[in-house]
Amino acid sequence: MIDLRSDTVTKPTQAMRKVMVDAEVGDDVWGDDPSVNRLEAYAAEITGMEAGLFVPSGTQSNLVGILSHCQRGEEYIVGQQAHTYKYEGGGAAVLGSIQPQPVELEPDGTMPLGKIRAVIKPDDFHYAISKLLCLENTIGGKVLPMEYISAATSLASDHKLGNHLDGARLFNAVVRLGCKATDITRFFDSVSICLSKGLGAPVGSVLCGPADFIKTGRRWRKMLGGGMRQAGIIAAAGLYALENNIDRLAEDHDNAALLGKALAEIDELDVSLQTMHTNMVFFKPRDGRVEELTDHLASREILIEPGSEIRLVTHMQVSADDVLATAEAIKAFYQQS
């Protein structure tokens, strides 16, 4: 089976399962789990933040982050296509009475500075209080330019807004740029990282930020039902992922590049090559026969997620041979029909 639907489908390797079996554990709600404490400290260290908070998912990590930055009646500025706006069930609005202010993104994933400036509200009781800017990096597999991050976050700071990074795939950006995580995170007050995407842990995210912010976040995490007990079993997998699986993301990027190049040779496909930076390849079948293509590939044990634009994601359980086999299977689809 070649599963290209997402890098969330990665399964823990034997080496990772071994550290899970051997993990020292305690009751994390009491602060007693050494494996969780180690993971939180390590995540904070590599992101250059004071403290970390281990949570079950990226959605909860971003939600705790927004709830800790904003009060009821305040708002966060966020990309219209960003995860923290579009794909988190409206959590900040539902659970925090915090208004999202979405802004249409450019094709490169940036929110134009002029548009950010235009939606930051003046102090007037007609408006919600603008409080936070949320960026996402990588976004749709794309790496935000460093100058852009610098400009957007200083614009926010100049208006006394906080800066939060949804860094679910931060390390894909780090590997692509050949930089340190802190080269990116230094522009932000808080960052959320996912352990369960390309890094290959079965579950978990870490929210990192200033110590008092994380103290507030710990209260929200408990309220949201994210206080876990002997969570060291899964935290150990997360720590293993951070210590061992970051550099290898380069292989996923290479495989995605190989896949993109092979697909670009198929006339029936319109492949977005310019914005292919990391482990994702986007394309549209020119004839629009998405369902048929999906079924054809499924019959060959290749899984893709159908959509108006199809996203293929490489990860640690997809090899170079797998991506070439996928390109061949797509080619065969157009030859037979």
Ligand X SMILES: *Cc1c(COP(=O)(O)O)cnc(C)c1O
* Interface contacts to ligand X, rule CB under 6 A: 57-59, 62, 83, 136, 166, 168, 194, 196, 205
Instruction: List the one residue out of 220, 295, 183 whose CA is nearest residue 55.
Output: 220
d(CA 96, CA 223): 12
Closer to ligand X by Cβ: residue 83 or 253: 83
Query: Which CB, 69 or 83, lies closer to ligand X?
Result: 83
Long-range contacts of 180-188 (CB under 8 A, 24+ apart): 181/46, 181/47, 181/48, 182/46, 182/47, 182/48, 183/146, 184/137, 184/146, 184/149, 185/47, 185/48, 185/49, 186/48, 187/149, 187/150, 187/153, 187/163, 188/135, 188/153, 188/163, 188/164
Q: How far is the CB of 163 from ligand X (least distance, A)?
A: 16
Nearer to ligand X, 242 or 330 (CB): 242
In terms of CB distance, is 174 or 293 closer to ligand X?
A: 174
Q: Which is nearer to ligand X, 28 or 166 (CB)?
A: 166
- By beta-carbon proximity to ligand X, the closer residue of 63 and 116 is 63
The one-letter code for the residue type at 225 is G
Q: How far apart are CA 214 and CA 114, in angstroms?
A: 31
Question: Do 285 and 299 contact (CB within 8 A), yes or no?
Answer: no
How far apart are the C-alpha atoms of 285 and 140, rounded to whole Å?
A: 19
Task: Give the bridge partners for 139, in sequence order.
Answer: 142
Q: How far apart, in whole angstroms, are the C-alpha atoms of residue 114 and residue 110?
A: 11
Q: Which residue is nearest to ligand X (CB)?
A: 58
* Rounded-to-integer distance, Cα 176 and Cα 164, Å: 21
3-class SS at 301?
Answer: coil
Distances (CA, A) of 292 to 85, 156, 273, 314, 328: 31, 46, 24, 22, 16
Minimum CB–partner distance for residue 142 and ligand X (Å)? 11
Which residue number, 162 or 226, has a Cβ lying nearer to ligand X? Answer: 226
Least distance (Å) between residue 78 CB and ligand X = 11
In the complex, least distance from residue 170 CB atom to ligand X, rounded to whole angstroms: 9
Taking the complex as a whole, how short is the minimal distance between the CB of residue 233 and ligand X, in angstroms? 17
Nearer to ligand X, 203 or 330 (CB): 203
Q: How far is the CB of 319 from ligand X (least distance, A)?
A: 23
**Nearest-angstrom CA–CA distance, 103 and 41:** 34
Could you tell me the smallest distance in angstroms from the CB atom of residue 236 to ligand X? Answer: 18
Q: Min. distance of Cβ 167 from ligand X in angstroms?
A: 8
d(CA 40, CA 45): 9
Nearer to ligand X among residue 56 and residue 162 (C-beta): 56
Burial level of 212, CB count in 10 A (0-12/13-18/19+)?
A: exposed
Least distance from C-beta 205 to ligand X, angstroms? 6
